[in-house]
Structure 1
Amino acid sequence: MNGTEEPVLLHTVGRAAHITLNRPKALNALTHAMVRRIDEALTAWERDPAVETVVITGAGERGLCAGGDIRTIHGDARDGDGTASAAFWRDEYHLNARIARYPKPYVAVMDGIVMGGGVGVSAHGSVRVVTERSRIAMPETGIGFVPDVGGTHLLGLAPGELGTHLALTGAQIGAGDAMLCGLADHYVPSTSLRHFVDDLADLPVRDVLDRHVRISPDGELAGHREWIDTCYAADTVEEIVQRLLAHGDPAAKETAETLSAKSPTALKVTLAALRRARRLGSLENVLEQEYRVSCAALTTPDLVEGIRAQVIDKDRNPRWSPATLAEVTDADVERFFTPLGARELGLAGPDTTAEATW
């Protein structure tokens, strides 16, 4: 295998070390081996005084990363015992937490498509750059899954109920809305990205930002805050849908129709996970919860069916089980949050509050 075929390319230029996700035909979807490779590189660079900044980008023209390799997860959930997926998530979530606490500037170039696991390797970074091409989403409810990689932590911190809206619908947002929701920090036009990245070799991050950052185009969510905050403040998914249908804003009704296509179980578990995440506090505590939820999802029919419908057969016609919100009981939801005993993620602890001080 030559260097251009490696799924993660690593190199340093001047003061900057670079991670390039290099599976452009798969929109740089993350595999377990890629997660381990990134973690190894971060270990080496953390100890290397010559490396002052870490930069992550995606190969190809379409985006940074479309998420985890869900075809592999589908096969494991359908035909295996789930241990391979659980091991992948364990290392991936540890990496997400590590990125959030990395002691050197971690610059994520969130150009193009950034979804699911792609959000996990970027939106926890200390410097998150979006462009006019950015399309950011946590679309898990559409495949019978629940936002993970720290997504419920990030979305739980978004203003009002914007995070609830994004988590349940899986809606894609652009640069302005990503900044409004706290998923990104800086806007750089895509035509300036090459110069932005090149300058990191020679200059401190703050100087490079001063040189290239521009005012972001306006997003769309701010104009929908009234109905989003009103409707999503409800205690149950059923009531959220009822409020959306009754509100009167055409966008609210359209959103109710969007939710009707998602996994009923995933919707209810996502709402519960997001509400609990707000109370859990630290990212590490939330990742512990997400790991329980993800492992539980492996044993449910909706994850296999959702990936089949969206990615394998692409008929876009999943048959959810249970098929309606009313059939999903509180006990069905609660079992996703059952502690795993010896199989817990093991991230939460007294020393998880350190922040980068660069």
Structure 2
Amino acid sequence: MSAHEDAVLAAVEGRMGRLTLNRPRALNALTHEMVRGITATLEEWERDPAVETVVITGAGERGLCAGGDIRQIHADARAGGGDASAAFWRDEYRLNARIARCPKPYVALMDGIVMGGGVGVSAHGSVRIVTERSRIAMPETGIGFVPDVGGTYLLALAPGQLGTHLALTGTTVGAADALLCGLADHFVPSHRLPELLQALATRAVTDVLPSFVGAAPPGELGAHQEWIDHCYAADTVEEIVSRLFANGAPAAKTAAESMLAKSPTALKVTLAALRKARSLGPLEAVLDQEYRVSCAALSAPDLVEGIRAQVIDKDRTPRWTPATLTEVTDDDVARFFAPLGDRELSLATGDCPQEVPW
């Protein structure tokens, strides 16, 4: 078995098929090979009557998955024109759709860090479990990118404007707030996860869960929802920032300052993507839109610059182009949503994973 194959461990344990993301030193960041491996395994298990439940976990103690391997994306965008990244996203977004349509219970143990692509392989599942250690985020605007992997679909469905707040600021949330925003379904204490896995190997999910699920520790977003809903309902990013500063709540001021450190282009494209996602319909249609946006980002300056500043050089001082919100025009934003012709993802037109009878 190759090193790439080792990065995803697949094993059938009783009635459970268990996928383990196995790059703990990289916080289980997804590579193209990992996406292909997960997809192939799901295709096999969907048709295997011996596998009644699919479970995804992450190796190591730090989390399920910190996202895609953005170092690879940086190198590809700089040297290869982005073709490899576009191919990675094509397969990754197809996988996200397959997970959402999985005909068997798909249980995601969202313990520890779950960000970006980690949300994509977990939060579309039918049973999403968080713990007191869960730290969930879509932090893409901080690297000049836009929430993808179905993130704009999930965040657009969150109550009020909570999803807009999370998308624009990249705020990390714990278990209770993930449950509030619809990113998870159940809270299970982390120390009980090994016991839960043992139970899932022998019994159905619906029989197992009631004896493990409990109340999550208190969250924070609920107490802030009044000002979040008011501020983020504005029509433009500039107005959102203005309302946040004017609100008076310390957390609102912190959110505004956080946004002003992000890519201005990414902020405006993210807001547009979220607003459009609400009227697009199914996940597949939103993934089609996200693919257009992601591919456009490869030829824009901020993605490469954002990854450089945060991950490559780690100077944490990205030089965004344009540098301010007022300089980002409507035409600049519209370019990210332009049709791709024969390069479209086309999930919503039928080229998507088909459900398989149980």
TM range (shorter): over 0.9
- Aligned positions of 1:206-355 closer than 5 A: 206-349=206-349
Counterpart position of 1:86: 86
Are 1:44 and 2:44 matched, yes or no? yes
Counterpart position of 1:198: 198
1:231-256 alpha-carbon deviations (Å, 9 max, x no partner): 00000000000000111111111111
Q: 1:252 to 1:300 in 2, by over 3 A?
A: same
1:41-71 alpha-carbon deviations (Å, 9 max, x no partner): 0010011000000000000000000000000
Aligned-pair distance for 1:349?
Answer: 2.6
> Contact between 1:5 and 1:22, CA under 8 Å: does it hold in 2?
no
1:216 is paired with a residue of what secondary structure?
Answer: coil
User: Partners of 1:198 and 1:136 in 2: how far apart?
Assistant: 25
2:321 is paired with a residue of what secondary structure?
Answer: coil
User: Partners of 1:197 and 1:251 in 2: how far apart?
Assistant: 38
The one-letter amino acid of 1:327's match is: E
> Contact between 2:5 and 2:37, CA under 8 Å: does it hold in 1?
no
User: Partners of 2:305 and 2:352 in 1: how far apart?
Assistant: 36
1:57 is paired with a residue of what secondary structure?
Answer: strand
User: Partners of 2:117 and 2:324 in 1: how far apart?
Assistant: 28
> Contact between 2:27 and 2:66, CA under 8 Å: does it hold in 1?
yes
User: Partners of 1:350 and 1:25 in 2: how far apart?
Assistant: 38
> Contact between 2:292 and 2:344, CA under 8 Å: does it hold in 1?
yes
Aligned-pair distance for 1:352?
Answer: 7.2
Counterpart position of 1:145: 145
Counterpart position of 1:172: 172
Are 1:31 and 2:31 matched, yes or no? yes
User: Partners of 2:269 and 2:170 in 1: how far apart?
Assistant: 14
> Contact between 2:98 and 2:352, CA under 8 Å: does it hold in 1?
no
The one-letter amino acid of 1:29's match is: A
User: Partners of 2:51 and 2:17 in 1: how far apart?
Assistant: 6
Q: 1:335 to 1:5 in 2, by over 3 A?
A: closer
1:88-113 alpha-carbon deviations (Å, 9 max, x no partner): 00000000000000000000000000
1:108 is paired with a residue of what secondary structure?
Answer: strand
> Contact between 2:22 and 2:58, CA under 8 Å: does it hold in 1?
yes
1:218-275 alpha-carbon deviations (Å, 9 max, x no partner): 2100000011000000000000000001111111111110011000000000000000
Aligned-pair distance for 1:4?
Answer: 11
Q: TM-score, normalised to structure 1's length?
A: 0.97
Are 1:7 and 2:30 matched, yes or no? no
Q: Matched residues, percent identical? A: 74
Q: CA RMSD for the aligned pairs?
A: 1.7
Q: TM-score, normalised to structure 2's length?
A: 0.97
Are 1:117 and 2:131 matched, yes or no? no
> Contact between 2:6 and 2:22, CA under 8 Å: does it hold in 1?
yes
1:12 is paired with a residue of what secondary structure?
Answer: strand
User: Partners of 1:3 and 1:84 in 2: how far apart?
Assistant: 19
Counterpart position of 1:66: 66
Q: 1:110 to 1:11 in 2, by over 3 A?
A: same
User: Partners of 1:356 and 1:241 in 2: how far apart?
Assistant: 47
2:12 is paired with a residue of what secondary structure?
Answer: strand
Q: 1:356 to 1:166 in 2, by over 3 A?
A: farther
1:165-202 alpha-carbon deviations (Å, 9 max, x no partner): 00000000000000000000000000000000111000
Q: 1:354 to 1:83 in 2, by over 3 A?
A: closer
2:109 is paired with a residue of what secondary structure?
Answer: strand
Q: 1:72 to 1:291 in 2, by over 3 A?
A: same
Aligned-pair distance for 1:207?
Answer: 1.3
The one-letter amino acid of 2:190's match is: S
1:154 is paired with a residue of what secondary structure?
Answer: helix
2:103 is paired with a residue of what secondary structure?
Answer: coil
Q: Where do 5+ consecutive residues of structure 1 fail to align?
A: none
> Contact between 2:309 and 2:317, CA under 8 Å: does it hold in 1?
yes
Q: Where do 5+ consecutive residues of structure 2 fail to align?
A: none
Q: How many residues align?
A: 358
User: Partners of 1:227 and 1:172 in 2: how far apart?
Assistant: 18
Q: 1:12 to 1:3 in 2, by over 3 A?
A: farther
2:68 is paired with a residue of what secondary structure?
Answer: coil
The one-letter amino acid of 1:185's match is: D
User: Partners of 1:309 and 1:186 in 2: how far apart?
Assistant: 36
Higher mean Cα deviation, 246-255 or 172-181? 246-255
> Contact between 1:282 and 1:353, CA under 8 Å: does it hold in 2?
no
> Contact between 1:131 and 1:175, CA under 8 Å: does it hold in 2?
yes
